[in-house]
């Protein structure tokens, strides 16, 4: 069978570079074009030096994209919605890594993003791209919207418990610690090294946009309260989600284990982590750098009905490019794990 011909629109950012890294090792894919308005004509490896002698393409302009089998959209937030109709003429399948089509309702987009959605009639055309919860729909859909990184970590941690009906949906607290690459590669005061180094800065105590995705996925159509906060660390990669939920009634730990095993026992990229001793008793994002894994652990508060669920991902892989490749695998009929076998490094 001929390789799947894919192109990347907007491939000069961190997510685009990570996507190219994964696609170069995919056994069934050939990267046809990579676009960047800022770097047209320059070698891709000039912007992504880790891809030297791996990707020999030069950046193309968006207007010069040729037809392909599947197109990844890594455009800045707000651009996909204005271009999706024309870009869909170039490829029968689209995977959008921006936030433009993650929410199902235009009213929710207006509330959380502060602008009107310019293609509201297309919102229901995109399947929300967390394969562990929407595998069949992703496989059958031509258009997929990849989930946000913070949202991915929180949803994977909490949805089994919500589905099982064992937690009080009115009292969920999600605390996110995120690496600097989450902010993208555009320079700003918040990324300037003297201002960012050694910092632990709460940048979104309330109102983080990814909370909208978590509410959508946990509520499954019913609005739920969610208390969501985000803190910036000076690590480059990684998201650690510490989620506090309250059990409706006391449950032994073996029952909580059973809920997670039933949800994720056969999932190739979910690992339930809770060791009784040692340094890595609970998830640690550092162990996941470069991988498509999500590690999930939990601990019950012995003095209350509080359950703390901790999840860790690499924001650029499981939180962006890796999850997009996982969706592509489903859409194209590949083995779901193809191109995503890297197990991480230790120590780093």
Catalytic positions, written as ranges: 149
Bridge partners of residue 240, in order along the sequence: 177, 312
Contact 96, 146 (CB under 8 A): yes
Contact 156, 132 (CB under 8 A): yes
Task: Establish whether the linkage from the previous residue to 316 is cis, with ω within 30° of 0.
Answer: no
Q: How far apart are CA 65 and CA 204, in angstroms?
A: 37
Residue with tokens 């990844």: 72
Helix spans in 88-198 (H)? 106-113, 131-140, 149-164, 193-196
Structure tokens at 79: 């651009």
Q: Is 5 helix (H, G, I), strand (E, B) or coil?
A: strand
Cα 199 to Cα 149, 190, 293, 337, distances in angstroms: 21, 10, 27, 36
- Phi-psi region for residue 78, left (φ > 0), alpha (ψ -120 to 50) or beta? left
Q: Give kind and range of the element (H or E) at residue 214.
A: helix 210-219
Residues 6+ apart with CB under 8 A from 7: 31, 32, 33, 34, 35, 65, 66, 68, 71, 72, 90, 91
Contact 301, 293 (CB under 8 A): no
């Amino acid at each position: 069978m001929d390789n799947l011909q894919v192109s990347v629109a907007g491939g000069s950012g961190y997510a685009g570079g990570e996507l190219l890294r994964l696609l170069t090792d995919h056994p069934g894919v050939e990267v046809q074009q990579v676009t960047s308005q800022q770097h047209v004509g320059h070698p891709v490896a000039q912007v992504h030096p880790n891809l030297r002698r791996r990707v020999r393409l030069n950046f193309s302009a968006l207007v010069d994209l040729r037809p392909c089998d599947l197109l990844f959209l890594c455009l800045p937030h707000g651009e996909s919605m204005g271009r999706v109709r024309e870009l869909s003429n170039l490829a029968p399948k689209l995977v959008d890594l921006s936030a433009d089509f993650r929410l199902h309702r235009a009213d929710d987009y207006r509330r959380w993003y502060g602008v009107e959605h310019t293609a509201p009639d297309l919102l229901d055309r995109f399947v929300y791209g967390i394969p562990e919860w929407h595998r069949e729909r992703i496989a059958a859909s031509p258009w997929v919207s990849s989930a946000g990184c913070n949202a991915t970590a929180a949803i994977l941690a909490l949805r089994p418990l919500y589905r099982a009906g064992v937690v009080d949906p009115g009292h969920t607290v999600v605390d996110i610690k995120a690496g600097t690459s989450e902010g993208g590669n555009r320079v700003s005061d918040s990324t300037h090294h003297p201002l960012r180094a050694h910092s632990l800065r709460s940048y979104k105590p309330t109102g983080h946009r990814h909370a909208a995705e978590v509410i959508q996925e946990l509520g499954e159509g019913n609005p739920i309260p969610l208390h969501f906060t985000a803190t910036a660390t000076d690590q480059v990669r990684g998201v650690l989600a510490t989620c506090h939920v309250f059990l409706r009634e006391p449950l032994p730990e073996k029952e909580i284990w059973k809920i997670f095993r039933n949800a994720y026992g056969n999932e190739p990229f979910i690992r339930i982590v809770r060791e009784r001793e040692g340094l890595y008793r609970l998830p640690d994002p550092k162990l996941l750098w470069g991988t498509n894994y999500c590690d999930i652990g939990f601990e019950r508060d012995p003095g209350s009905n509080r359950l703390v669920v901790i999840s860790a991902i690499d924001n650029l892989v499981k939180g962006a490019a890796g999850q997009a490749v996982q969706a592509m695998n489903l859409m194209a009929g590949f083995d779901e794990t193809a191109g995503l076998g890297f197990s991480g490094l230790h120590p780093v």
